[in-house]
Structure 1
Amino acid sequence: MASQGTGAKRALITGAGGFTGRYLARELRQHGWEVWGLGHTPAAAFPAAELHHYVQTELNDYAPLQAAVLQAAPQAVFHLAAIAFVGHGSPADFYRVNVGGSRNLLQALAGLPTAPQSVLLASSANVYGNAAEGQLAESTPLRPANDYAVSKAAMEMMASLWVDRLPLAVARPFNYTGLDQSTDFLIPKIVDHFRRKAPMIELGNLHVWRDFSDVRDVVRAYRLLAEKPVAGAVVNVGSQALHSLQDVLDLCARLTGHAMEVRVNPAFVRANEVKTLRADTSRLDALIGERSLVPLEQTLQWMLAP
C-alpha cells in the first residue's frame, strides 16, 4: 500500500492490524487524516483502502522500526500495539512487547528530525487493579493485579523518561467492545454464543458491574485527544454507564429471542472481585467536550447482526 500523497496530516498507528487499530484507521480517514500503520500482521491481510501505507515490523526489532518511523514522519502517533489478552500464555511477553517495544518506539520517535505534534499511548484501566471500587479518577492509586496490568503501568512509568522530548499523553480505556473483537474477550464470547444459538455458556460472576464502551466511541476519543494540546495528560476513556454481565445476557436474549442456559463455572470466578468499576471521565470531557455515546444495547445489536 503506497502513500497517496494527500497532503493531509499524517497519523501513524502501531498495532494497526488489531481490533482497535482498524477502527481508529477508519475514524481518522473519515476526518481527513493520511493514515500509516505498523504491525506484525502481513500487509496482504488488509483491504487496499484501509491504510494509505503499511509496514510489517516488530516493535522489538529496532532497526526496521526506526526506518519505518523515519519514513512515516508522522504528525500524530497512536501507540496501540500490545499484548492485551490477560490470559496470554507467556507472562514475559507482556514486558517484552508492552514495555520494551514501547521504549523502542519512543526512542525512534525522539530521533526524528521533526518531532510529532502528538503521541497518544494506549494504557489500560487495568492499572487500577481490583482494590479500588466505584467511580475511578486518574488520581486513583495504581494497584495492578496481573502481568498485563503491571506491564501497562510500567509502560506509563517508562514513558515519563521521554516527556521532555515528546508530547506524550496516556489514555486509560475501560472495557470496550465491538464487531470483530476476539472471542477471548467476555462480551464477544457471549455474543458468539447467542449468534450460534448455543444451548449453554459457562461464565464467572454474573453480578459484577462494569463500564462498557463501544469501540467506535473509544477511537473517536483518541482522535479528539490527538487534535487537542493535551501533552502530559493522563485520561480515562469510558462511558460512565454501568452494566452487569447479567444485563448483557438479558439484552442479548431479548435481541435474539434465544434462551440459553448460563452456568457459573467456579474456575472463572475471581477471588475478591470488585463489584463495581466505573470510569470518572470528567477530565476527558473537559479536554474534548461532551460526547454522544452509543448505548450498550445498540453495540450488542450491531455485534449480533451479521
Structure 2
Amino acid sequence: MNTASKRVLITGVNGFTGRYMRTELEANGYEVFGLGTHPCDDPNYHQVKLTDAQALHTVLAEIQPNAVVHLAALAFVAHGDANAFYETNLIGTRNLLEAISASEHTPECVLLASSANVYGNASEGMLDEQTEPAPANDYAVSKLAMEYMARLWMNRLPIVIARPFNYTGVGQASSFLLPKIVSHFTRGADRIELGNLDVWRDFSDVRAVVQAYRRLLEVKPVGLTVNVCSGNLYSLREVLSLCERITGRAISVEVNPAFIRANEVKKLCGDSKRLRSIIGEWNTPSLEETLRWMLAARE
C-alpha cells in the first residue's frame, strides 16, 4: 500500500483487537476510520451495526477506504444465543462485503479475521491451512460459514482471510480465560474456579497479531487463508504456574464441571510457515512476557 492510499477502515475499532489495530496502523502512517456499535466522539468513527445493510452502504460510500480490516464479531464461544453468532459473523460480514463491493472505490485489500476454532478438535499436531476444518461449536461454525461465504466475493474483492489462534493482552475481557486468571492473581484471590485444566493452546500477543495483520494488508496475498499463530503450545496448568512464579503468589484451583464445555478443543497449535513466507520474519513475545505485561498493568 503506497503513501497515497492509506485510508483504512477497521470494523470493531473500539474492541480489544481493534484498539491495538488502530494504534499499529496509525504508528505506521495510516489514516484510520472505524465502525462500531457504541457511541464514540472520534470524527472518523461511525456507529453502525453490521446487521444494518443500508447504513453500511452509506458509510462505505462516504469513506471509500483503501483497505479494510474486518474485526467486528461475536467472539465469546460460551455466548448463550447461538443465532447471534450467525447474524453477526456470517450475515453481518456478507452485508459488509456487499457494501464494499457497491462502493465506487475498490480497496486494495480486505482482511477478514476468522478463527482457528474452525479446525475443531479432530486433528492433532501442527495445524496448517490445509487441515480439514471440523468446527465443534456455533462460534466456529459461524466463522467457517463466513469463510465460505467470502469466497463468493473473491472475484470482486481482494480478500485475505486470517485465522488467528488464541491471543491475549492488556484490555481483553475477563470472560476470556487468561484475563480471568490474571485478574484473580492481581486482586490477590486465594482460589479460582476453572474448567478443564488439561487443554493446550497456541497463545500469541495481541501486539504481534495486529502487526501481522498490518503486514498482510501491505503484502496483499489476495485469495489466501493464513494462520496467525506462535507455533508454541501451553497448557492451562503452565499458565497458572507462570502466573504464580511472576507474582510470587499461590492460588488454589477448583475444577467446576459447569465450566467444562462440551466438544472442548483439547489441543490447538498452529503452523505459521505460510504467514512467515508471506510477510517475512515475525515473532510473538513469549507467553511469560505477555503475562508479565498483563499482570503489571492490573497492579
Same fold (TM over 0.5): yes
Please tell me whether residue 286 in structure 1 is matched to residue 277 in structure 2.
Answer: yes
Q: Distance in 2 between matches of 1:304 and 1:164?
A: 46
Change (3 A) 1:167 1:7: closer
Partner of 1:300: 291
Confirm or deny that 1:226 pairs with 2:217: yes
Query: Could you say if the C-alpha distance between residues 261 and 31 of structure 1 is closer, same or farther in structure 2, counting changes exceeding 3 Å?
Result: same
- Residues 181-230 of structure 1 show CA distances to partners (whole Å, capped at 9, x for unaligned) of 00110000000100111110011222222100000011000000000030
Query: 1:274 deviation in Å?
Result: 4.7
For 1:42-79, what per-residue CA distance to the aligned partner results, in whole angstroms no more than 9, with x for missing partners? 114xxx5xxx6100111111121111111111111000
Letter in 1 for 2:49: E
Report the CA distance between 1:8 and its aligned residue.
5.9
Q: How does 1:170-249 map to 2 (within 5 A)?
A: 170-249=161-240
Aligned counterpart in structure 1 of residue 75 of structure 2, from 69, 84, 93: 84
Shift of 1:270: 4.1
Separation in 2, partners of 1:279, 1:71: 38
Taking the aligned partners of 2:178 and 2:132, their CA distance within structure 1 comes to: 27
Query: Does the CA contact (< 8 Å) of 2:5 and 2:66 recur in 1?
Result: no
SS of 1:109's equivalent in the other structure is: helix
1:3 equivalent in structure 2: none
Question: How far 1:267 sits from its partner (Å)?
Answer: 2.4
Aligned structure 1 segments of 4 or more residues deviating by more than 6 angstroms? none
Q: Paired residue for 1:264?
A: 255
Are 1:224 and 1:288, in contact at CA under 8 Å, matched by a contact in 2?
yes
Deviation digits for residues 259-289 of structure 1, max 9, x if unmatched? 1101112222345645432101110010001
Q: Which SS does the other structure have where 2:277 is aligned?
A: helix
Out of 99, 110, 129, the residue aligned to residue 108 of structure 1 is 99
Which is further off, 6-15 or 205-214? Answer: 6-15
The 3-state SS of whatever aligns with 1:43 is coil
Moved more, 291-300 or 169-178: 291-300
- Count of residues in Structure 1 that have an aligned counterpart in Structure 2: 295
Please state how far the C-alpha of 1:113 moved relative to its aligned partner: 1.2
Structure 2 residue identity aligned to 1:35: V
Question: Does 2:251 match 1:251?
Answer: no
1:12 aligned to 2:9?
Answer: yes
Distance 1:91 1:274, change over 3 A: closer
Is 1:155 the counterpart of 2:152? The answer is: no
Structure 1 gaps of 5+ residues are 1-5
Residue aligning to 2:19: 22
Q: Secondary structure at the match of 1:277?
A: strand
Distance 1:288 1:165 in 2: 24
Q: How far off its partner does 1:255 sit?
A: 1.1
Aligned residues of 2:57 and 2:103 also touching (Cα < 8 A): no
Q: Who is 1:168 aligned against? A: 159
Q: Does 1:37 align with 2:34?
A: yes
Contact 2:191/2:254 (<8 A) preserved: yes
Does the alignment pair 1:119 with 2:110? yes
2:168 partner letter? T
Match of 2:287, as an amino acid? L
* Rounded Cα–Cα distance in structure 2 between residues aligned with 1:193 and 1:247: 16
